[in-house]
Amino acid sequence: ARFLESAVNSEALLEQHKEATGGKVRTRFPPEPNGFLHIGHAKAMNLSFGYAQEEGGDTYLRYDDTNPEKEEQIYFDSIKEMVLWLGFTPKWVTYTSDYFDQMYECAIKLIKKGLAYMDFSTKEAIKAQRDNRTDSPYRNTSVEENLKLFEHMRRGYFEEGKAVLRVKIDMQHDNPNMRDFIAYRIKYAPHPHVGDKWCIYPSYDFSHCLVDSMENITHSLCTLEFEIRRDSYYWLLQALDMYRPKVYEFSRLNVTGALLSKRKILALKNKNVIRGFDDPRVMTLAGLRRRGYTPEAIRSFCKDVGVTRNANQIPNERLEQSLRTDLDGKVDRAFCVTDPLRIELINYPADKVESLPAPNHPVHADRGTRMLPFSKILYIEKSDFRLQDDKTYYGLAPNKEVGLRFGYNITCKEVVNKPDGSISHLLCEVDLTKSRKPKGHIHWLAQPRPGVDPIKCKVFFYDDLFVKGANPEGDSGALESSLNPDSLVEYPNAFVDPIFHDAEKSKVFEKYQFERLGYFVVDSDSKQGDLIFNRSVSLKVDKLL
């Protein structure tokens, strides 16, 4: 990797650092526990965990928990769950709040050095000072007075929003972040990890570099919007004579059509547009898992995207392709008839049931064979029958023959209508000799016993949550008006392969290819006897065999 600025450390600091790490690479992944991890975080993890792994080093999972009012236990839990799910193993799990005592000591040290001051200006006034490069009227308070006031702030003598601790750098600096950033602010909110011990909390700019240094991070990787904060990161560590990690920035990742904003996902959940933060259409890691993504596919996608400093808006098709590539050799094939059309074989005995072998994988014979029942009543997709045949059509039509994959050939002899004129079922003739090679083969499922239908299931097909060209992360007014009405298509009366008789074969997140339909995953709302499948991704070639 290319590091933009090497940290300058004294010999003594380097010695100390080397002793702590044993000369090994050390990185950290520092999510704020105020939301669920998403595909962008996967890129960040891939870089931080990935780099350390390559170099034989170690990685911290660090909860960056300095905004107590926004943080909740479910986020802590789900972050860890998804880090492990993606296949990363933190050597340590820490909290920024673990270091609150040490950070407080750092603040006192700074005040004593004349490098921090208590400021009672309003939020607006501080912003104006920083914008206009004017000093705060509180900038020259004495060290003794500042120490006393900071102690008062810690004890809760001031109201929230009435006082802050600011570092004293340079109000004329061209980098706005160097114009005396805020180090501590008051929040009378209990903290999810350290309870009500503190009513003052360090800011990102104050805490991040200190914890990176205390944890002896060698390479601190973050997204590009933090580049502007690098000067102050180094300034603070230098002011406190602390070890300085190398900072490296990379671009944020987004995927076309993906909604990553926590606030917007929540808005759609509250309006029942989506089922939750793990809805298969949302690109949280939990959503991708529920959609049927594998950790391997996500990691290989991130690797593919690489470590660029250019803005990354990656087409969703690339993510989908990484899933197909991963699943192709891995998962079994099975049959599913999503929208069944009933067929009666007029020349097949009513009480006979055959078992026909079907390979579980077209290439990997070691994946075995399953037996498909074949009988007088069977089901095909409604979309595999047309009243009007034509040259480019490979399915079934009146007086046309079609092959049943791993089965026999059938010819449609009669279309039976319902009283309303719609199709009720077809009467077909079966040719058990398979003497002719039909133009196309279709998937099917037969009654396993006379009068008993195949296993019922629900199948959900997904499309982009938003219409093409919409910008869901942008203007919030466009959020609902640009929703794709067909982002979820449900098939409530589908039939599925007999392998699902076996409870072992219907575990949540198990993946299959349903022949001709795509890759599918068992949804987390599934129960034995009430199976739900999500389509993860279509097959590349979506046509008859």
- The residues annotated with a catalytic role in the active site are 32, 252, 262
Q: Could you tell me which residues come within 8 angstroms of residue 127 by beta carbon, excluding any fewer than 6 positions away?
A: none
Instruction: Closer to ligand ATP by CB, 64 or 279: give it.
Output: 64
Total site size for Mg ion, rule CB under 5 A: 2
Strand order through the sheet with 340-345: 441-442, 401-404, 409-417, 423-431, 340-345, 377-381, 445-446
Binding of Mg ion by 473 (CB under 5 A): no
Q: Which does 518 bind (CB under 5 to 8 A by kind): Mg ion, ligand ATP, none?
A: none
The partner in contact with residue 253, picked from Mg ion, ligand ATP, none with C-beta cut-offs of 5 to 8 angstroms by kind, is ligand ATP
Of the ranges 26-34, 235-243, 476-484, 528-536, which one interacts with ligand ATP (CB under 6 A)? 26-34
Q: Cβ closer to ligand ATP: 26 or 154? A: 26
Query: Looking only at residues 496 through 535 of this chain, which bind Mg ion when binding is defined by CB under 5 A?
Result: none
Stretch (H or E) spanning 342: strand 340-345
Interface mask toward Mg ion for 25-54; x: CB under 5 A: -------x--x-------------------
Neighbour tally for 159: CB within 10 Å: 9
Measured from the CB atom, is 260 or 334 closer to Mg ion? 260
Q: Residue 219, CB half-sphere, CA atoms under 13 Å: how many?
A: 25
Q: Nearest 5°: phi and psi at 204? A: -55, -50
**Tokens encoding 99:** 């270091």
Question: In one letter, which amino acid is 375?
Answer: S
Q: Of the two residues 255 and 445, which places its CB atom closer to ligand ATP in the complex?
A: 255
Q: How far apart are CA 498 and CA 455, in angstroms?
A: 7
Q: In degrees rounded to 5, what are phi and psi of residue 480?
A: -85, -30
> What is the nearest approach in angstroms of ligand ATP to the Cβ of residue 41?
5
Residues of span 96-155 touching ligand ATP by CB under 6 A: none
* 43 lies in the site for ligand ATP, by CB under 6 A: yes
Q: CB of 188: closest distance to ligand ATP in angstroms?
A: 23
Of residues 53, 223, 256, 325, which one binds ligand ATP by CB under 6 A?
Answer: 223
Q: Which stretch binds ligand ATP (CB under 6 A): 188-196, 209-217, 246-254, 292-300?
A: 246-254
Nearest approach in angstroms of CB 71 to Mg ion is 10
Site for ligand ATP in 47-66 (CB under 6 A): 64
Which region, judged by CB under 6 A, interacts with ligand ATP, from 118-126, 188-196, 251-259, 529-537?
A: 251-259
Total binding residues toward ligand ATP, as defined by CB under 6 A: 15
Please give the Cα distance from 442 to 337 (Å, whole number).
10
Piece in contact with ligand ATP (CB under 6 A), picked from 30-38, 54-62, 87-95, 210-218: 30-38
Q: Which residues pair with 313 in a beta bridge?
A: 254
Q: How far apart are CA 260 and CA 36, in angstroms?
A: 9
Q: Please, which residue, 42 or 470, has the CB nearer to ligand ATP?
A: 42
Contact 4, 217 (CB under 8 A): no
CB of 32 to Mg ion, least distance (A): 4
Q: Least distance in Å: CB of 255 to ligand ATP?
A: 9
* 8 A C-beta contact, residue 382 and residue 341: yes
Among 27, 30, 158, 533, binds ligand ATP (CB under 6 A): 30
Rule CB under 6 A: is residue 40 a binding residue for ligand ATP?
yes
DSSP reduced 3-state for 268: helix
User: In 3D, which of 90, 1, 75, 89 has the Cα closest to residue 38?
Assistant: 75
DSSP secondary structure letters along 363-411:
S-GGG-EEEEEEESEEEEEGGGB-SS--TT--SB-BT-EEEETTS-EEE
Using CB atoms, what's the residue nearest to Mg ion? Answer: 32
CB of 35 to Mg ion, least distance (A): 5
**Cα 401 to Cα 426: distance, rounded to the nearest angstrom:** 13
Q: Please report whether residue 253 would count as binding ligand ATP according to CB under 6 A.
A: yes
By CB neighbour count within 10 A (0-12 exposed, 13-18 middle, 19+ buried), where does 390 fall?
Answer: exposed
- Non-local (6+) Cβ contacts of 113 within 8 A are 239
Among 7, 9, 31, 385, binds ligand ATP (CB under 6 A): 31
Site of interaction with ligand ATP (CB under 6 A)? 30-32, 35, 40-41, 43-44, 64, 222-223, 252-254, 260
Site of interaction with Mg ion (CB under 5 A)? 32, 35
